[in-house]
């Protein structure tokens, strides 16, 4: 990254005008840092097939990287937010997004994150990554956001 961009980003962060947004070391997560909070959202891959809460072995391994960070940051709360595309009814998508959030939360627990630190929440079609009209199968909207928050900021 050119020095000019790094300097500008540092200046914005110091002034409080921007969030720190970066990629993970492995390039698979979009990591957003704000005071007391780190959000992980998968960059380009799709965590879930259409109409499913099943996770591929590749996605399972990617979620391990977040579990490592969560285990290091013991005095935090974790919210796993599940989302869907706009295909299906509102009620169905809420249930499906909850199942997705719970599946990812379960993987975090399998990797040693204490279950009492985690809240899994389904948001259905709310906050799509890619805006679409109703009824559109958009793979990038079938996702989770894993939010790790300092105890004092949650």
Mean per-residue pLDDT over the chain, rounded: 81
pLDDT(18) > 60: no
According to CATH, the superfamily of the domain at 20-150 is: OmpA-like domain (3.30.1330.60)
pLDDT at 27: 55
Between the CA of residue 26 and those of 29, 32, 62, what are the distances in Å? 8, 15, 9
- Please write the tens of the pLDDT for every residue from 101-148: 999 999 999 999 999 999 999 999 999 989 999 999 998 899 899 999
pLDDT at 149: 94
List CB contacts of 67: < 8 A, sequence separation 6 or more: 107, 108, 111, 112, 113
Evaluate whether 62 touches 146 at the Cβ level (below 8 Å): no
- Please write the tens of the pLDDT for every residue from 22-48: 444 455 778 888 888 998 887 655 678
């Amino acid at each position: 990254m050119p020095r000019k961009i790094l300097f500008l980003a540092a200046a914005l962060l110091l002034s409080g005008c921007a969030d720190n947004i970066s990629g993970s070391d492995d390039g698979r997560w979009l990591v957003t840092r704000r005071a007391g909070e780190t959000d992980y959202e998968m960059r380009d891959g799709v965590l879930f097939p259409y109409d499913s809460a099943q996770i591929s072995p590749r996605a399972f391994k990617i979620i391990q990287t977040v579990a490592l960070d969560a285990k290091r940051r013991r005095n935090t709360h974790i919210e796993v937010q599940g989302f869907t595309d706009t295909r299906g009814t509102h009620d169905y998508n809420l249930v499906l997004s909850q199942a997705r959030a719970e599946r990812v939360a379960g993987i975090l627990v399998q990797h040693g994150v204490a279950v009492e630190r985690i809240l899994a929440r389904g948001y259905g079609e709310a906050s799509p990554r890619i805006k679409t009209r109703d009824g559109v199968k958009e793979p990038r909207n079938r996702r989770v956001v894993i939010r790790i928050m300092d105890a004092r900021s949650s």
